[in-house]
Amino acid sequence: MVDYASRAATRARRRETTDVASFVRRLDWILIGSVAALVAYGLWAIADITRHDVVTNPHYYFTHQVAYAAIGGVCLIAAVLIDPDVYRTRWREIFGGMCFLIAIVLLTGPIRGSKRWLDVGFFKFQPSEFGKVLFVLALAGFLAERSRRLHDPRTTLSVVGLALIPIFLVFLQPDFGSALVYCAAVGAVLLVAGTPWTHIGALAAGAVAIAVLVLGVMPAAGVPVLKKYQEKRLTGFLNPDSDPGGTTYNITQSKNAIGAGQLRGRGPENATQTTLNFLPEHHTDFVFASLAEERGFFGAAFLLMLYLLVVWRGLRIVTLAREPFSAIVAGGLVVALLFQVFVNVGMTMGIAPITGIPLPFVSVGGSSMIANLIAVGLLLSIHVRARTGRR
C-alpha cells in the first residue's frame, strides 16, 4: 500500500514537472527577449542621460528605474499565470474600478500643475497609465459578450459611450496624451472585433468633426476647450519657428539634440544639450532626443528596431488567439503601445504635437514601466493558452 502511494506521488510530481516545462516552452521567447532588451537598453540609456541631474546622487533615477522594472517583472509573471478568461467575465468590475481610480485623482491636490497622480505614501502612481491596460480589457469583454451583434450600430455606439467616460475623466486631469492613447485603443478593439467598416468610417468622421470644433470653432467663438499651454503646443507644432525662445523652445532644443548626435552620437560626456539641461524633460518626454544625441542614429535606430520586433510579435499573437476576447485584448494593447512610440518619437522630431506621452520602457516613471510590463504579460498569457488550445 505504501509502495503504491509512493509511486502515485512520484507520477504526480512528474506530471507537474512536465506541465511546467510545457508551459515554459510555449512562451513567446522572442517577445520576452525583445522586451528584456528594451528594458535593459532603456536602463543603460537612463544611467547616462540622468547622471548629471542630481548632483548628490548621479544614480538616483537609474536606481529608481531599476526598482520599477523589477516590480514590473513580478507583475508580468503574475499576468502570464492568470488565464485571460478571468478578465472576460469580470469586465464590469474592471471598468468600474478603472473609472473610480481615475475619478479619485480629480479630487486630490495638483502635482506639478496637474491632477494625474495618486500618492499612497510609499508610491506615487498614475491611474491613467494602468488604465490603458484596464481600458482594453473592459472594452474587449464588452465586445466579446456582443460578438453576434457587432453589425448593430447600437453595439458600436455603446462601446463609444463606455469609452468616453474614462477618456473624459483623463482629459480633465488634464492629460491630453493619455486621452489620445485611449482613443487609439478604441479604434483597435473595434477593428479587431470585426466592427463593420461603415461604423468605423462614421466614427472617424465624427472624430474629425469634434477636432475641428474643439480646435477651431469653439476657440474662435470665445469658448476654449483646451488649456492655454495645450493650445500653444498645437500652434507651435503648426508653426515651429514662431517662438524658438518660448513656445517652441522644447521642440527646437529637441531637434538640435537629435541633429547633434549624427551617426555615432556624442557620448554621455559631450552631449551638451542633455548634460547642460538645454533640453527640458530629457529623462521623460524627450528621452528619445537625449538618446539620439548620446548614441546617434545607430543607437536610436536600434531602439526602434526593438520596438518593431515587439509589435510584430504582438500582432502575431492577435492571429493566434484562441477566442475573440483574447484577440481583441492583444490588438488593443499592441496598437496602444505602437501609438505611444509613434507619438513620443514623432514629437521629438517635430512631426507630431507635444502631448506628454512617455516612451514605453525608456522614459523614467514607475507607472508607465509597470503598466507596459503588465501588458506584455497579458500578451504572453494569451500566446501560451492559444498554443494550448490549438493542440
Distance CA 95, CA 251 (A): 36
Q: How does DSSP classify residue 147?
A: G
Grid coordinates standing for 2?
A: 505504501
Burial class (CB in 10 A: 0-12, 13-18, 19+), 113: exposed
Mean pLDDT to the nearest integer, 148-153: 90
For Cα atoms 230, 234, 240, give the angle at the middle one, nearest 5 degrees.
130
Residue 119: which H helix or E strand, with range? Answer: strand 118-119
Q: Which grid coordinates are listed for 366?
A: 514607475
Judge whether residue 224 has pLDDT over 60: yes
Q: What is the DSSP track for 75-99?
A: HHHHHHHS-THHHHTTHHHHHHHHH
With both helix axes pointing from N to C terminus, report the angle between 324-349 and 287-320 in degrees, rounded to the nearest 10: 160
Cβ-proximal residues to 367 (8 Å cutoff; 6+ apart), any chain: 125, 126, 129, 130
Q: Which residue has the higher pLDDT, 386 or 217?
A: 386
| pLDDT value at residue 185 | 95
Find the distance separating the first CA and the last CA of the chain, reported in whole Å.
37
Is a pLDDT exceeding 90 seen at residue 391? no
Give the separation between CA 129 and CA 137, rounded to whole angstroms: 14
Sole residue written with cell 484596464: 134
Checking if the pLDDT of 2 tops 50, the result is no
Q: What is the pLDDT of residues 278-292, one digit of tens each?
A: 888 888 889 999 999
- Residue bearing cell 513567446: 28
* Domain residue ranges in the chain: 29-195+227-390, 196-226
Per-residue model confidence as pLDDT tens digits over 326-350: 999 999 999 999 999 999 999 998 8
Between 142 and 243, residue with greater pLDDT: 142
How far is it, in rounded angstroms, from Cα 45 to Cα 298? Answer: 14
Q: How many residues does the chain have?
A: 391
Instruction: Tell me which of 313 and 251 has the higher pLDDT.
Output: 313
Predicted local confidence at residue 79, as pLDDT: 95
Angle at 279 between CA 228 and CA 72, to 5 degrees: 90
Rounded to the nearest 5°, which phi and psi values hold at 118? Answer: -115, 130
- In which band, very low, low, confident or very high, does the pLDDT at 4 lie, cut at 50, 70 and 90? very low
The continuous run of DSSP H or E covering 357 comes out as: none
Cβ within 8 Å of residue 59, ≥6 positions away: 47, 51
pTM check: above 0.85: yes
C-alpha cell at 142: 464588452
Distance of CA 256 to the CA centre of its chain: 27
pLDDT(122) > 70? no
- DSSP per-residue letters across 181-230: HHHHHHHHHHHHHT--HHHHHHHHHHHHHHHHIIIIIHHHTT---S-HHH
% of the chain surpassing 70 pLDDT: 84
Sign of the CA dihedral with 334 first, then 337, 211, and 255 last: negative
Residue 215's Cβ-count burial label (10 Å; 0-12, 13-18, 19+) is: middle
Cβ(169)–Cβ(178) below 8 Å: no
pLDDT-derived band of residue 12, with 50, 70 and 90 as boundaries?
very low
Take residue 120 and report the three cell numbers written for it: 499612497
Q: Which residue has the higher pLDDT, 248 or 277?
A: 277
Distance of alpha carbon 207 from alpha carbon 165, whole angstroms: 16
Amino acid in the structure at residue 33: G
Q: Say whether pLDDT at 373 is over 80.
A: yes
Q: In Å, how far from its chain's centre is CA 109?
A: 25
User: For the segment 249-267, what is each residue's pLDDT rounded down to a tens digit?
Assistant: 888 889 999 999 899 989 8
Provide the pLDDT confidence category of residue 181 given band limits of 50, 70 and 90: very high
